[in-house]
Amino acid sequence: MKEKPLHGETSVDRMKREAGIHAAELVEDGMIIGLGTGSTTLYAMEHLSVLIEENGLRIQGVPTSFQTEMRARQLQIPLTTLDASPELDLAIDGADQVDPDLRLIKGRGAAMTREKCVAAAAGELVIVVDAGKCVRSLTGPVPLEVIPFALHPVILGIRAMGGIPVLRNGIRKDGPVITDNGNFVLDCSFGEILEPERLEGILTLIPGVLSCGLFCEFVEKTTVVVGEEGGCRELKRS
């Protein structure tokens, strides 16, 4: 089953759509799945909705954000929670950058804490990206979810590490972005990240940091679906 291209869709949109559809086709009847946050995951959810309506696919989803929850309800995807279903068959999510070892930077949608919880609960993590998200090394800003009480000590700690922290502000809202957990987001630039696992460990140990957008611990169960012009390819850890 293949959706028709939409009028005005860009090449990046087409690659995202291809990746999302491919990921949705990996879902089997009876599965409980994690539903990530972001535009590429939305394509997967839209195709899952088609499979539910036309093929009778029976699934339940655990959303990683309020936005994903609302979209899933609109698409009539049945939902559950980690409390009710603490072990998931797989999770479908996006990423901001993917390196050759399948380590990720995530968090552009400010949902990295819940996404990390869902990824940890899933037996398999399916990451959907367009080809432009695949990089030789991770270089993007690393989002941190920080409790407001500790914002300035965390900023000082990041600067002491040589990083450049920037408080993420709302686009159509005055003041900082507030996560689904009621916290702030710091986007921290470190240049080329030569040791992502080490940096993730250090950032996570800073008092006041709830989680960070480096995802290095899930590489063994990660499949990256890369949408490209004309189709998709799957990347797995060799």
Closest CA to 235 of 130, 127, 118: 127
CA quadruple 151, 157, 163, 168: dihedral, nearest 10: 0
What are the structure tokens assigned to 8, written together? 């005005």
Convert 157-211 into a string of H (helix), E (strand) and C (coil): HHHHCCCEEEECECCCCCCECCCCCCCEEEEEECCCCCCHHHHHHHHHCCCCEEE
Which residues form the catalytic set? 115
N-to-C CA span, the chain: 30
